[in-house]
Amino acid sequence: MGLLAQYVINGAMLGMMYALVAVGFSLFFGVLDVIQFAHGDVLMVGAFAGLAAHALLAHLGVTSPALLLLGVLAAAALSMAILGALIARAVVLPLKSVPPINVLLMTLMLGTALREAIRLFYPGGSQPQRFPSLLPGTATAVGALTLRLDNAILFATGALLIVGTHLFITGTRLGLAIRAVAQDEETARCMGIDFTKVVLATFALGSALAAVAGVMNGLYYNEVGFGMGLLLGVIGFSAAVVGGLGNLYGAILGGFLFAALQTIGAAALPFASAYKDVFAFGVVIVLMAFRPTGLIGEKASERV
Amino acid sequence: MSGFSRIAAALVASVLLSAYLLLFLRAESTYTVALLLACGVAVALALRAKPLAPLARAAGSSRALPPFGLLGVVALALLLRDDAFSLFLVARVLVIALACLGLHLQFGSAGVVNFAGAAFFGIGGYTAAVLGRGGAIPGALVLLAGGVAAAVIGSVLILPVLRTRGHYAALVTVAFGILFRTFLEVNDTLGGPQGLKLAGLEIFGLRLGDDLALGPLEGSFLVKYVLAAVVLLALGFALVLRIERSFVGLALDAVRLDETAAAAFGLDVARWKILAFTVGNFLTGLAGALSAYLVGFIAPNNFTFSESLIFVSIILLGGIGNAAGVPLAAAIVLLLPEKLQLLQEYRYLLYALLVMAVLLFRPGGLLPRRLRRWEAGGAA
């Protein structure tokens, strides 16, 4: 029983990270109808920005874990918000009128460039880097199950961020503008919404969320590497698509669903746990065959 | 321009291209390579200027260009017969070009996205490794089986690919590519992460693994692999170009440009998409089988998602929808990093930046899609 609970906790952590990444994909798709495939690598760069911030703060003599953690999160989120807006400005917006596959390839190549840049230019970047553990490692035993405080904090942070994003999108003027652009770009422009500003803000928001997910990933596994973004990006993309692109709740649902599939594949099925990704992606393909526009699908009818 | 002068132009173009490739492959220092690259770019730009443009167009539109080009490669292989590394590179370019020809049929003609090119390439390779193990099955059949296996396994994706569109369809193939690679990595019967070894290929009693000894001609066994790749690529080109020029190609174009309109005109959209997907996977699998023999061993690491991306960037760089761009782009993408050894460490970065630059400034690729021309007496 304890083992199963451990699997569930682990799955929930993964699901939170996937959901944070998937929300970004969904936001970008909402405003621009594009897939920003460098998103996973933005996450990775965010984790490394956090690592660099930690080194800097430690060098300056900061020792309080809370301050360090705050500094790491702020540095990662802020720098990735700027990077995300830059990507939107320099790479995605200029390709607005070309076929979507060009944008897809463009951002994939951008992801490769980011990955290679970290590998080549971050000191020791070609090896996995140890990520400092900044959270208290206290564990409480609840029956046969050990609950670790750091995991609880990570999970709560992720949940707060997602709720915050939801409140931001539904409750603020900028959020309203984002939803308006997602619904109909031209009408939104006619209503006096600054399209470019909204796009940049959306990319900044989504990328900051990815950066937090990256730091979470680093704290959870105590390690970051230049290649960590590729699979996380693909999984985030799968989660967003399975949930239904452009839909925030779909992305969250997709993220947790994917983590659940991996957990089931690892724990509950008769074959070796190494097949968990094979199982999860296999189910994704089958789901796409039955719900071609995702679980919470776009209501799309084609105008001729 | 008359037919004869077109053929002459194509002949001159092939000779020049082969000579250029020979110089390029023989170049030792990075400076020579850089100089050759500068010359190449200069010539490419000059060909677009007024006096030379009609000649270039004549050569490019000539039906004689593909055969002459392939003959040029044969001559190149014979000239390079002792240089194993260059021969290997040439064979690799040809094999990857064949694989990308399959993707060209999917992306370029029917508009079916496939981000699992490396997976189908790998299916071909693993089929060859498993079937060729005992040596009981004739080599030609093993190669063919590689293609067939890729097409058959690909057919499980037909339903999701047909029902989804755009990014949703992209996800299906991305997921399949990753699934395939993970499966190979954890599966012990197929060698796991270490992969499988292959013996030399034997086609119609001809052992491709032995060194070349043809009367006075002696050289590396790789010459034979280059020749085999040339033959397969020629067949692949013949197939793809025939499809494009026929009513099938017209139907595929219609499906790509507007599914709704195509269906309204009575075209069976599903049928044409399945055709393009299956034939494309067959070509990619065939190339994968030959590639496995060429390299002598296969491992899951050769069939990653990044590898699929390289395939896609080759067809995009060459110009989506123009088969002639495929070998050109394959040569650029595969040879450039090998030749710029000085930049070895930075080659992937440079390569990513190069593709991004092409996408930004020349979104149609190096040789953009040509419009169909109407010719009296047939669709073309």
* Mean pLDDT estimate for chain B: 86
Task: Provide, as residue numbers in chain B, all residues whose Cβ is less than 8 Å from the Cβ of A230.
Answer: 305-306
pLDDT reading at B23 higher than 80: yes
Cross-chain Cβ contact A281/B176 below 8 Å = yes
B379 — pLDDT class (breaks 50, 70, 90): very low
Is B316 in CB contact (< 8 Å) with chain A? yes
What is the reported pLDDT for A143?
67
- Encoded amino acid at B251, one letter: A
| Cα nearest neighbour of A292 on chain B | B164
Mean pLDDT of B1-9: 77
Distance separating alpha carbons of residues B117 and B99, to the nearest angstrom:
8
In SS3 terms, chain B reads as CCHHHHHHHHHHHHHHHHHHHHHHHHCCCHHHHHHHHHHHHHHHHHCCCCCCHHHHHHHHHCCCHHHHHHHHHHHHHHHCCCCHHHHHHHHHHHHHHHHHHHHHHHHHHHCCCCCCHHHHHHHHHHHHHHHCCCCCCCHHHHHHHHHHHHHHHHHHHHHHHHHCCHHHHHHHHHHHHHHHHHHHHHCCCCCHHHCEECCCCEECCEECCCCEEECCEEECCHHHHHHHHHHHHHHHHHHHHHHHHCHHHHHHHHHHHCHHHHHHCCCCHHHHHHHHHHHHHHHHHHHHHHHHHHHCEECHHHHCHHHHHHHHHHHHHHCCCCCCHHHHHHHHHHHHHHHCHHHHHHHHHHHHHHHHHHHHHCCCCCCCCCCCCCECCECC
Q: Which residue of B has its CA nearest to A35?
A: B167
From A94, A277, A304, residue closest to B178, measured CB to CB? A277
Q: Does the predicted interface ipTM exceed a cut of 0.90?
A: no
CA distances from B199 to A280, B99, B106 (A): 35, 22, 32
**pLDDT for the residue A144:** 66
When pLDDT is averaged across residues B55-59 and rounded to a whole number, the result is 75
Give tens-digit pLDDT for B174-186.
Answer: 899 989 998 998 8
Given an 8 Å threshold on Cβ–Cβ distance, is A277 in contact with B171? no
Q: Crossing angle, helix A195-221 and helix A173-183, to 10 degrees?
A: 110
d(CA B328, CA B330): 5
Quick one: CA dihedral A89, A90, A91, A94, positive or negative?
A: positive
Q: Establish if B49 belongs to a structural domain.
A: no
Interface-testing mutation among B178, B305, B307, with chain A (most A C-beta atoms within 10 A): B178
Q: Out of A22-31, B74-83, B280-289, pick the least confident.
A: B74-83
pLDDT in tens, chain A (304 residues): 567 778 888 899 999 999 999 999 999 998 888 889 899 999 999 999 999 999 999 899 888 888 899 999 999 999 999 999 999 999 889 888 888 778 888 898 899 899 999 999 998 888 888 888 888 777 777 766 677 888 888 899 999 999 999 999 999 999 999 999 988 889 999 999 999 999 999 999 999 999 999 999 999 998 999 988 888 999 999 999 999 888 889 999 999 999 999 998 888 777 767 788 888 999 999 988 888 888 886 655 555 5
The residue extents of the domains of chain A are 2-290
Lowest-confidence region among A210-224, B33-47, B225-239: B33-47
Q: Is there a contact between B186 and A98 if contact means CB atoms under 8 Å apart?
A: no
Mean pLDDT calculated for residue range B89-107: 95
Q: What per-residue confidence (pLDDT) applies to A25?
A: 93
Instruction: Give the one of A94, A294, A304 whose C-beta lies nearest to B360's C-beta.
Output: A94
Write out chain B residues lying below 8 Å of A116, CB-based: 346, 348-349, 352
Rounded to the nearest angstrom, the gap between the alpha carbon of residue B349 and the centroid of all alpha carbons in its chain is 23
* pLDDT at res. A66: 86
| B117 assigned to some structural domain | yes
Cβ atoms of B39 and B55 within 8 Å: the answer is no
Facing B164 at nearest CB: one of A234, A278, A292: A292
Domain holding B216, by residue range, is 63-361
Task: Tally the domains of chain B.
Answer: 1
B239 is a domain residue? yes
Q: Is residue B377 part of a domain?
A: no
CB contact under 8 A, B171 and A106: no
Interchain contact B269–A (C-beta under 8 A): no
CB < 8 Å to A105, chain B: 309, 312-313, 316, 355, 359
Mean pLDDT within B315-334: 88
pTM: 0.88
* B227 pLDDT higher than 80: yes
Question: What's the gap in Å between the CA of B270 and the closest CA on chain A?
Answer: 14
pLDDT recorded at residue A57: 92
What does the radius of gyration of chain B's CA atoms come to, in whole angstroms?
Answer: 21
Chain A contact set for B353 (CB, 8 A): 109, 113
Range 106-125 of B in CB contact (< 8 A) with A: 107, 113
Residues of B whose CB is below 8 A from A237: 171, 174
Which pairs with CB-CB distance under 8 Å and at least 24 residues apart come from A70-79?
A72/A134, A72/A215, A73/A212, A73/A215, A75/A49, A75/A50, A76/A46, A76/A47, A76/A49, A76/A50, A76/A211, A76/A212, A76/A214, A76/A215, A77/A46, A77/A208, A77/A211, A77/A212, A78/A208, A79/A46, A79/A49, A79/A211
Nearest Cα of chain B lies from the Cα of A245 at a distance, in angstroms, of: 9
> Chain B: residue nearest A99 by CA?
B363
pLDDT at position A71 is 92
Give the count of Cβ contacts less than 8 A between chain A and B: 127
Dump pLDDT digits (tens) for B362-378: 888 888 887 777 665 55
Of A106, A241, A277, the CB nearest to B182: A277
Convert the pLDDT of each residue in B129-186 to its tens digit. Answer: 999 887 778 888 999 999 999 999 999 999 888 888 878 888 899 899 989 998 998 8
The two three-digit tokens of residue B268, written as one number: 């069976």
> Does B346 sit within 8 Å of A288, measured CB to CB?
no
Residue B118 has pLDDT above 80, yes or no: yes
Interface contact A101-B107, CB threshold 8 A? yes
Smallest Cβ–Cβ distance between A241 and the set B168, B179, B305 belongs to: B168
pLDDT at B375: 62
Q: What is the mean pLDDT of residues B230-254?
A: 93
Tell me which chain A residues have a C-beta less than 8 angstroms from the C-beta of B269.
none
Residue B215 vs residue A132, higher pLDDT: A132
pLDDT of residue B380: 44
Per CB-CB distance under 8 Å, the chain A contacts of B183 are 275, 278
CATH for A2-290 is 1.10.3470
Contact residues, chain B, for A112 at CB < 8 Å = 306, 309, 348-349, 351-352
Beta carbons of B106 and B112 less than 8 angstroms apart:
yes
pLDDT of residue B374: 65
Minimal C-alpha gap between A204 and chain B (Å): 22
